[in-house]
Structure 1
Amino acid sequence: MKEALALAEMVLEAENPIGEITGPAGTGKTMAGWAIAERFRCLRVAAWDGITRHQMLVTVATRLGMEGPGVAERLLARGYGAERRLLVVDEANKLSWRVLETLRYLADECGIAVILIGTELYSRKFSEARTRPLLLQLGSRIGAKRVSTRHLDRAETYAHVIRPLFGEITDKELVTAFWSGCRKGNFREAMELAGECQRVMAANQIQTLTPAVLEMAVKWMANRYAVEG
């Protein structure tokens, strides 16, 4: 989270104001994006499948408070000298190269600093034979302004999930079992597993996290994914 906030400051001050946050699903990218949006009171767009260049421009213009017909064209004419605003685009893996290039243009010419947030599907666009040549300019603008999220290790899972929600736990095997139960530190699944543990504890009037509670919660998670699959 600290790296993400530092990235936002860097992007706002950069000559090429565009950066990215990438990582596997469930590792806190969206949370980082919301933290940036809250700290810097910036614009935020969550992309959807099939979003077009025009739809992105209209959405960004609306976030800026523009109204009426022709907002996309007026946004593109905003000009480099306009007051710089920060735009966070989540789910960037759903963007076509044309939409990504449009965001690059906003950063270059329209006073919009941009942070792109996406999974490995987004990152892959910069190396695939079909799209790599089309995104060379965007990649060069991003440069080193990148943050990568990852799964938590056992100590981080304990510090950021287990201890805040369940208090001090000295049973190292229990901590390891919890870490393994959330796919070895996937933050999203760790929070879901913690929530299920709390439900089991409340239903059985148990005050502390125990191996039996964790086992029940892990089984619920496994059954849920089996059903979803």
Structure 2
Amino acid sequence: MAREIRKTKAVTEAIKLAEVVMGSDNAIGEIVGPAGTGKSMAGRAVCEAYRAARIVAFDGMTRHQLLRAVAQAAGIEGPGAVDRLLAAPEGDTRRLIVVDEANKLGWRPLEALRFLADERGFAVLLIGTELYERQFAASRTRELLLQLGSRIGAKRMSTRHLDRAETYAHVLRPAFGDVADKELINAFWMGCRKGNYREAVELAEECRRIMAANQMQNLTSAVLELALKWSANRRVVGRDGHAA
């Protein structure tokens, strides 16, 4: 089932950023932010707006695996697909590639993406956490990523937690309808770590589960308090360092 895309400020800014990237001579941009702040949703919105291909990186993804994924997204199939991708001339139409979880890529796959943007007519939008950014400053990889960093330049944006109004507009009201209790709205916002989008959605789902189990129609402080307790229990870290 497709995940719902909500038009948060991050989504609006990401679509504008993608437009800039698509029209740039150095067609590489980036979206960076903490976990749970709506980066992936923004990336999916960009894909929908520009019919872009979306690739999700994974730990240890090699340069060849990444290029094979790009080749498949570009419709290049069969043996030698990567070689044909790297040798293909620029097309008349620029194709946008959105790379989510870019923080899981090492410098070699990232440099391969730079090559595709420089020499093969692709536009690239990288999405990742602060771990991705660290590679541009780390002594071991700083020089290796110098060209990529210069291509990105100012074509970047940062996601952040939702403010109270956004949390209400994009999570609370869609889930529960109009909520007049300002204290309840504030308690919900505080409960999802002051607007962490992912946690807000999960908290809303937990509240709805409790309401359904108790045949309740309206969100109450008691329901929210119980949902917060369930959420807190899920984040309890045991002695072995793993979530219980």
What TM-score, normalized by structure 2, do the two folds share? 0.91
Amino acid at match of 2:194: K
Determine helix, strand or coil for the equivalent of 1:132: coil
Q: Distance in 2 between matches of 1:67 and 1:83?
A: 19
Q: Distance in 1 between matches of 2:228 and 2:150?
A: 44
Alignment of 1:145-160 (within 5 A): 145-160=155-170
Partner residue, 1:161: 171
Amino acid at match of 1:222: A
| Superposition deviation, residue 42 in structure 1 | 1.2
Partner residue, 1:106: 116
* 2:78 matches 1:78: no
Partner residue, 2:29: 19
Q: Per-residue CA shift, 1:153-185, capped at 9, x if unaligned?
A: 112111211122112222221111101111111
Partner residue, 1:191: 201
Amino acid at match of 2:76: M
Q: Per-residue CA shift, 1:8-35, capped at 9, x if unaligned?
A: 1111111100100110000000111111
Q: Distance in 1 between matches of 2:138 and 2:186?
A: 38
Q: Distance in 1 between matches of 2:46 and 2:186?
A: 31
Gaps (5+ residues) in structure 2? 1-10, 238-242
Number of residue pairs aligned between Structure 1 and Structure 2? 229
What TM-score, normalized by structure 1, do the two folds share? 0.97
Structure 1 residue ranges, 4+ long, deviating more than 4 angstroms after superposition = none
* 2:53 matches 1:43: yes
**214, 219, 222: which one pairs with 1:204?**
214
Gaps (5+ residues) in structure 1? none
Partner residue, 2:79: 69
**56, 63, 75: which one pairs with 2:66?**
56
Determine helix, strand or coil for the equivalent of 1:134: coil
| Superposition deviation, residue 206 in structure 1 | 1.1
Amino acid at match of 1:138: L
| Superposition deviation, residue 82 in structure 1 | 4.8
Partner residue, 1:180: 190
Q: Distance in 1 between matches of 2:43 and 2:94?
A: 18
**34, 47, 63: which one pairs with 2:44?**
34
Q: Distance in 2 between matches of 1:167 and 1:47?
A: 36
How high is the sequence identity, in percent, across the aligned residues? 67
Q: Distance in 2 between matches of 1:8 and 1:101?
A: 20
Q: CA RMSD in A?
A: 1.1
| Superposition deviation, residue 79 in structure 1 | 2.3
- Say if 1:80 and 1:108, in contact at 8 Å, map to a contact too: no
